[in-house]
Amino acid sequence: MKLEEEIKQAIIIRSDLEMSKGKTVAQACHASLMGFFEAEKANKKIADEWLKTGEKKIVLKVSDEDSLVKLYKAFEYKKIPAALVTDAGLTEIPPGSKTALGVGPWKGSEIDQFTKPLKLL
């Protein structure tokens, strides 16, 4: 069954950490998978539709950890599935650093309410 609204995933990365390209991609992958698992628990129909329709993603950036955590809390408050990535600190950055946020896959209009002002990574 096809949903009427666009389904997408937002991946939000902290730009202030100045991670290498490889580290950034790894954190984005963590965010994508974790976000998908949260979405699948919240609404399997939406998650399945996203898989069938090309897995649309958008990668955005925030300037600091506070902004990332505030976004996470806003999505959580609105019951939009999201997952906050916390790094183990084994390579480039201190342990416990919040590096990325995976939102959805979910209804694009609901994600856009919070991500519209953000810039592409």
Q: Which CATH number does the domain housing residue 72 bear?
A: 3.40.1490.10
Q: What is the pLDDT of residue 3?
A: 59
Percentage above 90 pLDDT, the chain: 93
* Domain contains 104: yes
Domain containing residue 32: 7-120
Of all residues in the chain, the percent with pLDDT exceeding 70 is 98
User: Which whole number is the average pLDDT over 80-94?
Assistant: 95
Residue 104 · residue 35 · CB < 8 Å: yes
Cα 104 to Cα 26, 64, 69, 99, distances in angstroms: 18, 21, 16, 17
How far apart, in whole angstroms, are the C-alpha atoms of residue 55 and residue 121?
18
Average pLDDT over residues 41-45: 97
> What are the angstrom distances between the C-alpha of 97 and each of 15, 19, 23, 46, 68?
13, 12, 13, 30, 11
Name residue, tokens 């505030």. Answer: 70
Q: What is the pTM of this model?
A: 0.94
Q: Domain tally for the chain?
A: 1
Q: Residue 1: inside a domain, yes or no?
A: no
Strands (DSSP E) along 1-121, which ranges?
Answer: 7-14, 57-62, 82-86, 98-107, 119-120
Average pLDDT of every residue of the chain: 95
